[in-house]
Amino acid sequence: MVGSAINKIKGDYPAYRFVFFSSSEYDLSSLEETKSLFREVQPTMVIHLAACVGGLFKNMHNKVEMLEKNVMINFNVVRCCHEFDVEKLVACLSTCIFPDNTTYPINETMLHDGPPHTSNDAYAYAKRMLDIQCQAYRENYGSNFQCVIPTNIYGAHDNYHLEDAHVIPALIHKCYLAKKDGIPFVMRGSGKPLRQFIYAEDLAKLMMWSVEHNTDPILILSVPEDQEVSIEHVARLIAREFDYEHQLAFDESFSDGQFKKTADNSLLASKLKFDFVPIADGIKRSVAWFVENYATARK
Ligand code: GDP
């Protein structure tokens, strides 16, 4: 999703030649395949977005895969960035890997201060190791390897899988089907948890800004704290787009996951003034994209 968003805006960066790859072309969990990719492309800069990702329920039910695949992918990519003399690496973490029992807002210094939430600990520890790996290369070799930490991302080209997806794409797909079949639109949990959502195209711009200008080894890329919203609010925005709000129902037998993970974006704000796409707009565009691309969307 983020790669597609960068692809969409790449014309705004004529100084670079962009090369994009998907997992169908190279399996980055194999060191050999990762080396062939680097040999073929000889990149000067790398934006590392590849990961085995999913929403709360995929994280809970596939811990071995979330841990092993991500550890292998990150190990291979960072190591190849070193072997092939990449000038700058910007690697993607996530705010869901921060400690569960913490104070808010969470900032860049707190990543390793306590265990993550049990629902996604396997994914979280794999991603935390990516930070440690980049730090080790910086310390031992002076590598310009940085990590950025986005909050929950959504937008066009997301994975809209009913079970494995993150909440926004999962609910867009569910509401689409519910309306088609004339049945209730059922969201999971209480709807009370809070999240900051970033629209993929905003993140694409911030990733490119990071490539060109950021010097901090670790940086949160998030909307401000006052743009944090409840899951119920998001579900209502989605239902409204489908004109189906009257059919919204809650299934509280499902987990709520982490209650919140409010991130502090003041480091980013101190460097850059950025107008984020408001959540209502982003959802409007994401619903429109999903409906238009229903046949081919990942789901
Ligand atoms: P998280 O932000 O890392 O926890 O991941 P998600 O994007 O999966 O969001 C999880 C939150 O959305 C939890 O509070 C869930 O209970 C709630 N939620 C409601 N309906 C759904 C759904 O259909 N799929 C997912 N993934 N989460 C849902």
Q: What is the DSSP string of 185-210?
A: EEEES-S--EE-EEEHHHHHHHHHHH
Q: Which residues contact 61 (CB under 8 A, 6 or more apart)?
A: none
Four-point Cα dihedral 291, 292, 296, 299, nearest 10: -20
Q: Say what the pLDDT of residue 242 is.
A: 97
Q: Which atom of ligand 1 is nearest to the CA of 171?
A: 23
Q: Are 176 and 297 in contact (CB under 8 A)?
A: no
- Structure tokens belonging to residue 289: 């994209």
Taking the model in full, what pTM does it have? 0.94
Distance CA 119, CA 287 (A): 28
From 167, 174, 187, the mutation candidate for ligand 1 (largest count of ligand atoms within 8 A of CB) is 167
Distance CA 256, CA 266 (A): 28
Q: Whose CA is nearest to atom 12 of ligand 1?
A: 167
Q: Say what the pLDDT of residue 265 is.
A: 95
Cα of 61 from ligand 1 centre, angstroms: 14
What's the half-sphere exposure (Cβ side, CA atoms, 13 Å) at 123? 24
Active site amino acids: 123
Distance CA 131, CA 92 (A): 9
Q: Which atom of ligand 1 is nearest to the CA of 162?
A: 23
Q: Say what the pLDDT of residue 193 is.
A: 96
Q: Say what the pLDDT of residue 126 is.
A: 97
Q: Say what the pLDDT of residue 268 is.
A: 97
User: pLDDT digit of tens for each residue in the chain (299 aa)?
Assistant: 999 999 999 999 999 999 999 999 999 999 999 999 999 999 999 999 999 988 888 889 999 999 999 999 999 999 999 999 999 999 999 988 999 999 999 999 999 999 999 999 999 999 999 999 999 999 999 999 999 999 999 999 999 999 989 999 999 999 999 999 999 999 999 999 999 999 999 999 999 999 999 999 999 999 999 999 999 999 999 999 999 999 999 999 999 988 999 999 999 999 999 999 999 999 999 999 999 999 999 99
Q: Which atom of ligand 1 is nearest to the CA of 119?
A: 4
Q: Say what the pLDDT of residue 256 is.
A: 92
Max distance between CA atoms of the chain, in angstroms, equals 60
